[in-house]
Amino acid sequence: MCDEIQEVVKNHEEMLQVHRQRFENGVPDYDKEFHILTFDVLYCFWSYEDARREALEEYKEAMKQQKIDDLEEKLSQINTEIKAKEGLIGTPNCVGIKVRHKKYGIGEVTSTSNGKITVLFENEGPKQFLYPDAFEKGFLYPEDRAFMDQIKQNKTLEDALSELKKKATELSEELSVLDTKPE
């Protein structure tokens, strides 16, 4: 290995210039083969290896911490967006609205309970439907178009919330792996 380093040193003009400057009259007669310079290179390599390794470990830890900080920031932004969208979702009061069903005809929503609505139809009596699925899937058509617009807007918001929550879960999982992963 020393011979290989010595060959590189002999052909490296910048290193030779530094070596010549160390001595007042150029390279000394006893070091025409650049043994001192080769030794200096080897000494630096062995002496500074621990410092390089420590610096590399510090760098890796800093990069890991930066990634954790970035993920936490993204997660915080997503959670803020989730809360904002949750605040926009409103359950429209459907009690009292007139609806139409293909089979049962015209009816009026009489109550809501546990994700279901009860509709009293003129000719068929009371029937229960899942809320808001009955409107979203077209089983019931409200006379009030604004009510249907609110249902559609809520569906859009719920879909967006679902995606945001999925992304938040992915970020949380990635964070937990980074927090527990030994380097």
Which of 117-121, 139-143, 145-149 is predicted with the least confidence, judged by mean pLDDT? 145-149
pLDDT > 70 fraction of the chain, expressed in percent and rounded:
94
Domain count, the chain: 1
The answer as to whether 117 is a domain residue is yes
Q: What rounded mean pLDDT belongs to the chain? A: 86
User: SS3 breakdown of the chain: % helix, strand, coil, rounded to 5?
Assistant: 65, 15, 20
Cα separation of 41 and 23, whole Å? 17
For the cut 60, the answer to whether the pLDDT of residue 183 exceeds it is no
The answer as to whether 51 is a domain residue is no
Q: Across the beta sheet with 125-130, what order do the strands follow?
A: 125-130, 116-121, 105-113, 98-101, 140-142
The answer as to whether 68 is a domain residue is no
The answer as to whether 52 is a domain residue is no
Which of 86-95, 97-106, 112-121, 145-154 is predicted with the least confidence, judged by mean pLDDT? 86-95
pTM: 0.58
In the chain, which ranges are continuous DSSP H helix?
A: 2-10, 13-22, 35-88, 133-136, 145-180
Amino acid 134: pLDDT:
92
Cβ–Cβ < 8 Å for 142, 129: no
The answer as to whether 114 is a domain residue is yes
The answer as to whether 102 is a domain residue is yes
**pLDDT tens sequence across 122-137:** 989 999 999 989 998 9
The answer as to whether 118 is a domain residue is yes
The answer as to whether 80 is a domain residue is no
Residue 107 structural domain:
98-143
Amino acid 128: pLDDT:
95
Q: Which residue has the tokens 């009860």?
A: 118
